[in-house]
Amino acid sequence: MAEKKKFGTFAGVFTPSILTILGVIMYMRLGWVVGNAGLIGAIVIIVVAHVIAITTGLSVSSVATDKKIGAGGIYYVLSRSMGIPIGGSIGIAIYIGTAFSIALYLIGFAESFNGYFGFGMSVNAFRITGTIALIAITALALISTSVALKSQFFILAAIIISLVSIYFGTTEFTPETVPMFATKDAVSLEIVFAIFFPAVTGFTAGIAMSGDLKNPKQSIPFGTLSAIGVGLIVYIGLAVFMAYNINSEVLKTDYNILMKMAFFAPAVVAGIWGATLSSALGGILGGPRILQAMSIDKVTPKIFGKGKGENNEPVNALFMVFIIAEAGILIGELDVIARVVSMFYLTAYGFINISYFLESWANPDFQPTFKIKRWIGLLGFIASFGVMFKLDMFAMLGALAVVGGLFFWLQRKEVKLQSNDVWRSVWENVVNTGLKKIDAGVDENSNWNPNIILFSGASEHQHFLLELGKTVSGRTGIVTNFKLILDRENDKPLRKTEQIVRDDNFKELGIFARQIKVDNIYKGITNIASTFGFSGVEPNTIMLGWPKGLENSVEYSKMTETLLLLDYNLLYLDFDRKTKFGNYQTVDLWWRETDSKNAEMMLNIARFIIASPKWNNTNIRVLFVNNNNVDKDIIYSKIAKLVEDLRVNVEIKIINNAVEQKAFYDLIEEHSATTDLTILGIPNYKIEKQAEFIVKTNHLFEAIGSTLLVKAANNFNVLDLDFNKKE
């Protein structure tokens, strides 16, 4: 099989780019821009447009030198850096913009061609001429890409000769004064800019040929930036020349004035026709390659990915470009097409620039050989969308809606590549920065932000434990569920990738899930509690099911002792399988004088519970047992103040127990028998009395519904629940 023909910097990038830049807008509308905006206004428009072009050219050149570049130009670069969804959505925008720009160039050609030969100057006449020209250049592209590119050298020579002829032209149109700014009857600068902007979009013609370049990493930066630089010099020079040599009223009304004032008119005609046709040819060559690359990646239908011949020419994609370009030609008005093209390109350029900015900021693997300052990408992004907002806010919103729709559609398609996705790097960078700031801060007396390690095995009731775990963690808390797999026979651990559990149940609740093999459940819990977590986001709470039947387990006692020494908050749920969480309408918090830290933790949990959708109509009660015959008003006032400080609306119930001296658990059984969720503190006790505590608590759980036991760590504040001391 013959080796594919490759092109160098001059033929493959600079020439198609500069021919597209020095195209229809330069010949047919630059004079109109100067006439309406004035000389300084025109220069400002040219400079602002080139700021966007230069920043985009720099950004795409830098990204292009980081990774291997394949066919598809800007689409390929973006999809390999930012992922298929963003690369595909911007690639489609670039592709449509390229296809419509072909119509722009050919309608410009039709204006000049029909005017020169005295053919009809109506919209229909332009449509006919433009369509014939489109068929001709499509046929040329089908015959040979190489022939098409070589023909551009002759066109470049014609453009140079035409510019020389213009500069040596007649002076009969010289104005008496040179307007520096727009006059009152001039077209608004927003419209003038929108019509001019396609003049600077030509540099994408060279990048689109990336798959046909010998050395794209070298050719794209040098060829692209050289073309943009030459274009800037030519446009400013020609604008100054026109302002001082042609009357502004003539510039506003006569689109063919350059041809009339040139030293040798046929040279200008050749330049106009060559520039417009070559620009259209650049779109015909580049556009199909973008569509072909997207189809190979399954972004667009596969039929457009098929090529023909030894160079895999994108014939099917070429016919699609032909259809879109013909639709543009049928619009028939150059100014309207120019504004459509501007919006597509400005949208694409904005995202190209932010792509570079994010890539250079977030991706540690981003090592381009062509290095530029990071702020250049941000400047290009701001300039692109700032200009779009100024031109047409609704068109900008429409463009963003289209690109956003394409992005979410491609996300749902879940098209993936074996390449980095910058968004992952962005999030990793944000998380890394946030963790450093959190870790550097002092967290004393700060609000409790739960980071819960939850232990739950697979069962029909697991969902309720997960649900409550997420509820008590609040909106910003973290819950990581561990499934412990008991395996005493095989001591080989699961691979790290196998430890990650991705399940719809966990995803729906926003819970991270892991599974690990252990040879002892209690040692497994202890090891995870001792080692899991990382700086800045250390776990602070252990949550698990209540240990029925483990009152005499030495291993369980040792585990509990370790968790207490590690100073975790402990949450034990006794889940009532019959009543579950009832109607999610009643929560009781039981306090006693020794519950000073537990009480604050309960109030925090209560605040998170009432913020949960399922519990948003919940009635919360604080029940305090008055064993010492203290004045109820004093107790009520003090508890109300504590509750008010933590912004939880509750009903306060004081239970006088000075005379009867009923056991605490008996009172709970009496008052909370029908409560949907009862929360009470675990008292301080010596570990050797754990069995006694578990037995008593088991008896209580048989008489009431689902219950959450709380043991607060030392970092919780001590609430003053001693009502005997005098103020």
More confident residue, 194 or 211: 194
Phi/psi of residue 660, each to 5°? -75, -30
Is the Cβ–Cβ distance between 480 and 511 less than 8 Å?
yes
**Shortest CA distance to 595 belongs to which of 494, 716, 485, 478?**
716
Judge residue 693's burial from the number of C-beta atoms within 10 Å of its C-beta, 0-12 exposed, 13-18 middle, 19 or more buried: middle
Q: Give dist(CA 253, CA 689) in Å, integer.
A: 99
pLDDT at 727: 47
**Reported pTM:** 0.68
Percent of the chain with pLDDT over 70: 89
pLDDT at 68: 66
Neighbours of 125 (CB within 10 A): 16
What is the DSSP-derived secondary structure letter of residue 14? I
- Whole-number Cα distances in Å, 219 to 71, 223, 226: 14, 5, 10
User: Where do the domains of the chain lie?
Assistant: 9-423, 451-711
**Shortest CA distance to 182 belongs to which of 258, 252, 254, 256?**
252
For domain 451-711, the CATH architecture is 3-Layer(aba) Sandwich (3.40)
Percent of the chain with pLDDT over 90: 19
pLDDT at 322: 93
Buried b or exposed e, range 604-616, using 16+ CB within 10 angstroms: bbbbbbbebeebe
State mean pLDDT over 478-501. 84
What number of residues does the chain have? Answer: 727
Decide if pLDDT at 77 tops 80: no
Q: Give dist(CA 170, CA 259) in Å, integer.
A: 11
- Order across the sheet with 677-681: list the strands: 512-518, 478-486, 451-455, 541-545, 569-574, 707-711, 677-681, 586-591, 619-626, 651-656
Is the Cβ–Cβ distance between 696 and 587 less than 8 Å?
no
- Predicted confidence band of residue 415 (pLDDT cuts 50, 70, 90): low
pLDDT at 70: 67
- Whole-number Cα distances in Å, 32 to 19, 39, 176, 254, 366: 20, 11, 18, 8, 44
pLDDT at 80: 75
Residue at 64: amino acid letter: A
**Shortest CA distance to 22 belongs to which of 266, 254, 277, 290?**
277
Q: What residues contact 498, with CB distance under 8 A and at least 6 apart?
A: 515
Q: What residues contact 469, with CB distance under 8 A and at least 6 apart?
A: 452, 454, 456, 479, 481, 511, 543
Decide if pLDDT at 67 tops 70: no
Site of tokens 């008996």: 666
pLDDT at 381: 92
Question: Of 135-149, 221-235, 264-278, 329-343, which range is least confident?
Answer: 135-149
Q: Give dist(CA 338, CA 49) in Å, integer.
A: 14
Question: Of 152-166, 403-417, 567-581, which range is least confident?
Answer: 403-417
Question: Of 24-28, 358-362, 447-451, 562-566, which range is least confident?
Answer: 447-451
pLDDT at 720: 64
The CATH number of the domain covering residues in 9-423 = 1.20.1740.10
Tens digit of each residue's pLDDT (9 = 90 or more) over 567-625: 899 999 998 888 899 889 999 999 887 667 888 888 888 888 888 888 888 889 999 98
Helix (H/G/I), strand (E/B), else coil: 400? helix
Decide if pLDDT at 370 tops 80: yes
Buried b or exposed e, range 41-77, using 16+ CB within 10 angstroms: bbbebbebbbbbbbbbbbbbbbbbbbbebbbbbbbbb
- Predicted confidence band of residue 439 (pLDDT cuts 50, 70, 90): low
- Whole-number Cα distances in Å, 413 to 88, 297, 299: 12, 12, 9
pLDDT at 623: 92
DSSP sequence for 620-679: EEEEEEE-S---HHHHHHHHHHHHHHTT---EEEEEE-TTT---HHHHHHHHSTT-SEEE
Identity of the highest mean pLDDT range in 13-17, 38-42, 642-646:
38-42
**Shortest CA distance to 216 belongs to which of 9, 412, 76?**
9
- Supply angle C-alpha 707, 713, 719, rounded to 5: 85
Is the Cβ–Cβ distance between 229 and 72 less than 8 Å?
no
Q: Give dist(CA 34, CA 27) in Å, integer.
A: 12
Tens digit of each residue's pLDDT (9 = 90 or more) over 252-261: 988 888 888 8
Decide if pLDDT at 233 tops 90: yes
pLDDT at 146: 66
Phi/psi of residue 229, each to 5°? -65, -45
pLDDT at 1: 41
pLDDT at 62: 87
Decide if pLDDT at 725 tops 60: no
